[in-house]
Amino acid sequence: MTGPLHARLIRRIAAEGPLTVADFMAAALLDPRDGYYTRATPLGDESGRGGDFVTAPELTQVFGELLGLWCLEAWQRLGAPPHFKLVELGPGRGSLMSDVLRSLALIPGCRAAAEIHLVEVSPRLRAMQRDRLRGAKVTWHRGIATLPAGFAVILANEFLDALPIRQFEKTPQGWRERLVVRDGAGGLTFALSGTLPSGLLDAPDAATGAILEHCSAATAVAEALAERFRGSPGAALFIDYGYATRPWKGSLQAVAGHRKVPALSDPGCADLSALVDFFALGQAAERAGARVHGPVTQAALLQALGIEERSAGLQHGKSPEVARAIAAACRRLIAPGGMGESFLAISLEAPGLESPAGFPLA
């Protein structure tokens, strides 16, 4: 049994021809009726039950609290303005923002100066965010284009990995695009395009069989922020799983019920994501005039922000069982070979600001 979007995509391909992987991802995630982020509860229900995957802010409050310290310090680097936009892209259940706000309250002037703006497409997640942030004044947006001007501190955890990517494969005959087509049995499968326009891809060193992924939506976010920072100074921190050097492998993955599932089997019913190309993101931001710091590993960032100290502080006075759970969650965030290294952090900033906390001095 497949969901309704599967049948609709089969009909769409019959009428309009093959989809790019980006078209497929956009439909599977964002279709206004049957898309994953329209209908699912990716991170579980109000009490945290169910869901398809878990993210750092859902593992422990320490993650959001440390990013809150980063925001506090960014606000100070901006000159501690009396008003600034505190923006989160893809805020999930609102847990990260709620933990960030606790840290901002360490300096009352900072919490009072923060106007919260959330960029979120999912109606279900918006409802959870409203609930979680009850008492705070929040403005929601569907995209970054409607964010008001002014000083801004911007956070995004596991947001870029949800943006649609195109995939290209190097064949003995040259580069081809991976497309989604109908198979002979009423399902969806991958196929390769014909010849691509020359000069579309600039990757002469790639070996036959290499796959190159390109996320124009992520590049557009980097460029738009760089552009924004020219008139409205700000600092943005992105954390995601990704790479700084191209792996030349496809990274599209689908997850449902905490398990990997085939990417094309049931669009709208599984989360789809792809590794973030941090090199491309940084280059796009830099070309558009932003100052780029990193990427660094998540472990390096969280250690510099004081994860060990905060973990110990939070364990203090707790039962041995609770203290062990806090320590384990914090260890997981910085685990070598795990989240500590597979997640990277990059900061895109207005030129002229001092280096951000957690990144080596540029």
* Cβ nearer to ligand SAM, comparing 121 with 212: 121
* Cβ nearer to ligand SAM, comparing 31 with 169: 31
Least Å from the CB of residue 76 to ligand SAM: 24
List contacts with ligand SAM (CB under 6 A): 37, 42-43, 55, 57-58, 90-92, 96, 119-122, 125, 157-159, 162-163
Least Å from the CB of residue 129 to ligand SAM: 8
Least Å from the CB of residue 257 to ligand SAM: 15
Given its phi and psi angles, is residue 215 left (phi above 0), alpha (psi -120 to 50 degrees) or beta?
beta
* Cβ nearer to ligand SAM, comparing 166 with 182: 166
Least Å from the CB of residue 314 to ligand SAM: 19
Least Å from the CB of residue 216 to ligand SAM: 12
Least Å from the CB of residue 217 to ligand SAM: 7
* Cβ nearer to ligand SAM, comparing 92 with 233: 92
Least Å from the CB of residue 109 to ligand SAM: 26
* Residue closest to ligand SAM when measured from CB atoms: 90
* Cβ nearer to ligand SAM, comparing 65 with 158: 158
* Cβ nearer to ligand SAM, comparing 12 with 126: 126
Least Å from the CB of residue 206 to ligand SAM: 28
* Cβ nearer to ligand SAM, comparing 99 with 266: 99
Residue that has been written with the tokens 């699912």 in this structure:
40
Instruction: Give the CA angle between residues 111, 116, 120 to the nearest 5°.
Output: 150
Partners of 255 in beta bridges:
260, 271
* Cβ nearer to ligand SAM, comparing 93 with 170: 93
